[in-house]
Amino acid sequence: MIIQNFNPLEDEMVTILDKEGEVVREDILPDIEDDKLKHMYKTMLFTRIIDTKTLQYQRQGRMLTYAPNKGQEAAQIGSVAAIEKEDWLVPAFRELGAWLYKGVSLDQIYLYWYGNEEGSRFEKDVKVLPISVPIASQLNHAVGIAMATNIKKENDVTLAYVGDGGTSEGEFHEALNFAGVFNTPNVFIIQNNQWAISVSRNIQTKSETLAQKAIAYGIPGVQVDGNDVLAMYAVTKEAVERARRGEGPTLIEAVTYRLGPHTTSDDPTIYRTNEEVEEWALKDPLTRFQKYLLDKGILTQEEDEKLRDEYADQVTQTFKKIEKTGADTKLIDVFKYNYAEMPPNLKEQYEEQKRYYEGGEK
Amino acid sequence: MPLLNNIGALTYALDQEMERDNTIVVYGEDVGYEGGVFRATQGLQKKYGVDRCFDTPLAEAGIVGSAVGMAINGLKPVVEMQFSGFMLPAYNQIVGHVARMRNRSRGSYNLPMVIRMPYGGGVRALEHHSESLETLFAHIPGLKVVIPSTPYDTKGLMISALRDPDPVIFMEPKRIYRAFKQEVPEEDYSIPIGKAKVVKEGEDITVVAWGALVRETQKAIKEIEEKEDISVELIDLRTISPIDKETIIKSVQKTGRFLVVHEAIKSFGPGAELMSIVNEGAFLYLEAPPTRVTGLDVTVPLPKSEHYFMVDTRKIADKIKELVEY
């Protein structure tokens, strides 16, 4: 049992792998097969490379606004790796690693950020919800999914994400309160990356930790080193098992840092110091995990370099494909998904626009 | 055939559909054990258990937001907003997600769900209990907005709403919840969403109303037709969105005059949309300016002055005469 032994009111935080990649808590080290460890690392690396290249594409004017994930890979992959295929994933909007791990393709992800709704057309069995822009509102969806799981007497767990800024929203409160009252199989991950655009974590709440908010809802809350993928995994796994046993929801605060801007439209140098960023860069979740795997012999240096080249190539190819086809949108698609069947006003407007774009309608 | 009032017909429809479709779950504030402050869900928890009809914490965004998740996970939630004036905390969910999930996900996630809410004035209530906010929903693509005016329609429209693949806002004129009874068939029937009903045919003027004001308008018409040589066609809109343009335009092309009667405030209200429809569809047939009798552009007053705000029989009758004599 990890969760109950770390008191969020005393600012205790679960760390297993320190920033040098050394195991500091052998007693709670999760038992993960080598293949899975490698898959987790590969997804983190892939996420990092996508992120880096996407920022470049955006700077070149080839991509719309993008929300980078750099620094938060462990918070995402450590948690999502603890759920199963039949479980649900409810993202906010900065969960690239989680989407990939759960089975969303990079093609889809690029389509979305390229400005095409087709990017959120997910296969039913992926069980991932589209990006939710209104902050914290997605948590209530996660609770509803889990309420339905209880009503249908099914067994899946719903994992949901929110940011530190999101904990100030009324919907955060409503969702956690519902989850507690209805004892739902939910795991909530707060990616506390210290900054909600330019507003620092201290301005969001007077609470010492975000995890301690759980106490008021009568559910467990725990603070985890969000840059430690093994700690994130161990704690989320325990929370998922609790949920699956019918013991209800858990709130996990992943203490992490957004090394990049909020989105590509943001300039973080206005509101935070280089020293702060450099300090957090030393706690990089990817290098920490890489060192651990190299030390254990699960990964070799050559393999790692090969992966980096492979992924860079894959990202380039995928982006080029989306650049070529991602703008192939049709006028009818603007209309036809608003309702199951187009009502007369939509039909009328579609016909009118079709005449206007006559010849232009692809 | 049972003789039912509007609230009885509503419970009847929910009960019959819950029996038929075990994915329907009904919940909200006071909805479960008590059966709702207006008793719309009375007896449902007892009959179907707490899994299918239950009380929630007092949190409208939580109620609607969780319904989004439930619908995604295969259930058909019917949630109650205790009064339409208390719906506003849920408006973020309604506009931000309920209306958009199908489009956002290109049809991979659809939200068959019904959001019910009593609305409208005339019940001597406190602040925030008397508004008519149908425009706030009708303005949002992805929603359907339905308002019944009789027990027969309440059952038929609720059945349609429950079987609709898209989210339906079901607004209930609470002033007439228990105002009158009507025979409501036991059998399964539905009234199509998006179709208005010609309640009474006439020659000189078309009057469109909905909700509690259908009855008020009927009274006005009766008075006028008894006294004057005027023949009025009355249309019950039944669905605010998508609006049945065809029935309205056809009627105005016949009568040449058009009056909208609604309780919502006038400016930017549903009447303005109807004016446009008539202008675009029947301009050359008009013999008088399309006109509105509505609530006032003010905050709904508290009970002692609410009557100034309300649309009554005389206001309607006066306007009908004025337009016919124009």
Q: What is the DSSP string of B88-136?
A: HHHHHHIIIIITTHHHHTTTSS----EEEEEE-S-S---TTSS---HHH
The active-site residue, picked from B128, B129, B262, B307, is: B129
* Pairwise CA distance, residues A129 & B194, whole Å: 30
Residue pair A173/A205 in contact by the 8 Å Cβ criterion: no
- For the segment B125-149, the average pLDDT, to the nearest whole number, is 97
How does residue A145 score in pLDDT terms, banded at 50, 70 and 90? very high
How does residue B149 score in pLDDT terms, banded at 50, 70 and 90? very high
* Pairwise CA distance, residues A211 & B113, whole Å: 33
Task: Give per-residue pLDDT as tens, A287-311.
Answer: 999 999 999 999 999 999 999 999 9
State how many domains chain A has.
2
Residue pair A249/A157 in contact by the 8 Å Cβ criterion: no
The answer to whether the CB atoms of B56 and A181 lie below 8 A apart is yes
Residue pair A117/B104 in contact by the 8 Å Cβ criterion: yes
Q: What pLDDT, on the 0 to 100 scale, is given for residue B175?
A: 96
The answer to whether the CB atoms of A117 and B194 lie below 8 A apart is no
Rg (CA), chain B: 20
Phi/psi at A237 (5° precision) = -60, -45
Tell me which chain A residues have a C-beta less than 8 angstroms from the C-beta of B165. 340
- Closest Cα of chain B to A234: distance in Å? 27
* Pairwise CA distance, residues A242 & A222, whole Å: 14
Strands B197-200 and B232-236: antiparallel
Residue of B nearest to A90 (CA): B69
- Which residues are registered as beta bridge partners of B118? B172
- Give the three-state DSSP class for A89: strand
Residue pair A71/A280 in contact by the 8 Å Cβ criterion: yes
- Domains in chain B (CATH in brackets) are 3-183 (3.40.50.970), 197-324 (3.40.50.920)
* Pairwise CA distance, residues B107 & B260, whole Å: 36
Q: What pLDDT, on the 0 to 100 scale, is given for residue A1?
A: 87
Task: Give per-residue pLDDT as tens, B78-111.
Answer: 999 999 999 999 999 999 999 999 999 999 999 9
Residue of A nearest to B107 (CA): A337
Touching B: A residues 46-75, CB under 8 Å? none
B109 Cβ under 8 Å from any chain A Cβ: yes
* Pairwise CA distance, residues A132 & A144, whole Å: 15
Q: CA angle, corner A62, sides to A57 and A67, nearest 5?
A: 55
How does residue B274 score in pLDDT terms, banded at 50, 70 and 90? very high
Residues A79 and A186 in one domain: yes
The answer to whether the CB atoms of B65 and A137 lie below 8 A apart is yes
Residues A301 and A250 in one domain: yes
Residue among B93, B194, B245 whose CB faces A137 most closely:
B93
The answer to whether the CB atoms of B62 and A132 lie below 8 A apart is no
A271 is catalytic: yes
Instruction: Scan for tokens 């008590």, then name that residue.
Output: B34
pTM for the full model?
Answer: 0.97
Q: What is the DSSP string of B206-242?
A: EEEE-TTHHHHHHHHHHHHHHHSS--EEEEE--EEES
* Pairwise CA distance, residues B21 & B322, whole Å: 50
The answer to whether the CB atoms of A177 and B103 lie below 8 A apart is no
Residues A170 and A201 in one domain: yes
A201 is catalytic: no
Q: What is the ipTM of this complex?
A: 0.96
- Closest Cα of chain A to B193: distance in Å? 10
Residues A112 and A209 in one domain: yes
Q: What pLDDT, on the 0 to 100 scale, is given for residue A272?
A: 96
- Closest Cα of chain B to A336: distance in Å? 8
- Closest Cα of chain B to A240: distance in Å? 18
Assign residue A167 the CATH number of its domain.
3.40.50.970
Alpha-helical runs (H) found in chain A: 34-59, 73-80, 96-102, 106-113, 137-151, 170-181, 201-204, 213-216, 229-244, 274-281, 285-296, 301-325, 331-336, 344-356
Residues A14 and A99 in one domain: yes
The answer to whether the CB atoms of A174 and B69 lie below 8 A apart is no
* Pairwise CA distance, residues A311 & A45, whole Å: 8
Rg (CA), chain A: 21
State the amino acid at position B21 in one-letter form.
D
* Nearest residue to A221 (alpha-carbon basis) of A233, A238, A244, A200: A238
Tell me which chain A residues have a C-beta less than 8 angstroms from the C-beta of B194. 343-344
Residue among A121, A124, A145 whose CB faces B69 most closely:
A145
- For the segment B285-294, the average pLDDT, to the nearest whole number, is 98
Residue among A150, A174, A337 whose CB faces B61 most closely:
A174
Residues A52 and A188 in one domain: yes
Residue of A nearest to B22 (CA): A152
Residue pair B111/A339 in contact by the 8 Å Cβ criterion: no
Residues A306 and A198 in one domain: yes
- For the segment A44-61, the average pLDDT, to the nearest whole number, is 96
Q: Is the pLDDT of residue A362 over 80?
A: no
The answer to whether the CB atoms of B194 and A344 lie below 8 A apart is yes
A146 Cβ under 8 Å from any chain B Cβ: yes
Tell me which chain A residues have a C-beta less than 8 angstroms from the C-beta of B69. 90, 140-148, 158
CA distances from A279 to A16, A58, A217, A256, B295 (A): 20, 27, 34, 12, 62
Touching A: B residues 175-214, CB under 8 Å? 194
The contacts of residue B248 (CB under 8 Å, 6+ apart) are B196, B206, B208, B235, B258, B274, B277, B278, B281
Residue B289: CB atoms within 10 A of its CB come to: 12
Residues A362 and A246 in one domain: no
- Give the three-state DSSP class for B71: helix
Tally: H helices and E strands in chain B: 12, 14
Task: Give per-residue pLDDT as tens, A224-240.
Answer: 999 999 999 999 999 99
Task: Give per-residue pLDDT as tens, A4-29.
Answer: 999 999 999 999 999 999 999 999 99
Residue among B66, B110, B141 whose CB faces A140 most closely:
B66
Average pLDDT over chain A reads: 96
Residues A129 and A262 in one domain: yes
- Closest Cα of chain B to A192: distance in Å? 23
- Give the three-state DSSP class for A30: coil
Best residue of A337, A346, A348, A349 to probe chain B, by most B CBs closer than 10 Å: A337
Q: Is the pLDDT of residue A102 over 90?
A: yes
Q: What pLDDT, on the 0 to 100 scale, is given for residue A124?
A: 82
Residue of A nearest to B241 (CA): A343
Residues A336 and A315 in one domain: no
Tell me which chain B residues have a C-beta less than 8 angstroms from the C-beta of A137. 61, 65, 92-93, 96-97
Q: What pLDDT, on the 0 to 100 scale, is given for residue A123?
A: 85
The active-site residue, picked from A271, A337, A356, A357, is: A271
Alpha-helical runs (H) found in A245-300: 274-281, 285-296
Q: Is the pLDDT of residue B39 over 80?
A: yes
Task: Give per-residue pLDDT as tens, A196-209.
Answer: 999 999 999 999 99
* Pairwise CA distance, residues A201 & A207, whole Å: 10
Residue pair B153/B111 in contact by the 8 Å Cβ criterion: no
How does residue A359 score in pLDDT terms, banded at 50, 70 and 90? low
Boundaries of domain holding A334: 330-362
Residues A272 and A338 in one domain: no
A328 Cβ under 8 Å from any chain B Cβ: no
Residues A175 and A196 in one domain: yes
Touching A: B residues 264-323, CB under 8 Å? none
